[in-house]
Amino acid sequence: MKSSALSALASSMIAKLQSDLSTLQDSVALGMATDEESTQLPMTQAQLDLWRKYRVLLSRVESQPAFPRAINWPPQPD
């Protein structure tokens, strides 16, 4: 089913972003962050939040009033 595939994609992206974010947070906490890493930290957090929201919205697709006749798919983050 399409929702399962999209949910798997979202979970994969979330795992990757969480890993990236963890490394960036470590570099900042240890005083080792480059200017690029310091700039990347809030952008990575924002992307993670978008993918989390997307995954939640996907989990609600089946509760839409017209499901399964009409499905309003949430837009996938960039």
For residues 13 and 78, give the distance between their C-alpha atoms in angstroms, rounded to a whole number.
11
Q: What is the pTM of this model?
A: 0.91
Contact in structure between 57 and 74 (CB atoms under 8 Å): yes
What 3 state SS string does 25-66 have? HHHHHCCCCCHHHHHHHHHHHHHHHHHHHHHHHHHCHHHCCC
For residues 52 and 54, give the distance between their C-alpha atoms in angstroms, rounded to a whole number.
5
CA-closest candidate to residue 61, choices 74, 48, 75: 74
Question: Per residue of the chain (78 residues), what is the pLDDT tens digit?
Answer: 799 999 999 999 999 999 999 999 999 999 999 999 999 999 999 999 999 999 999 999 999 999 999 999 999 999
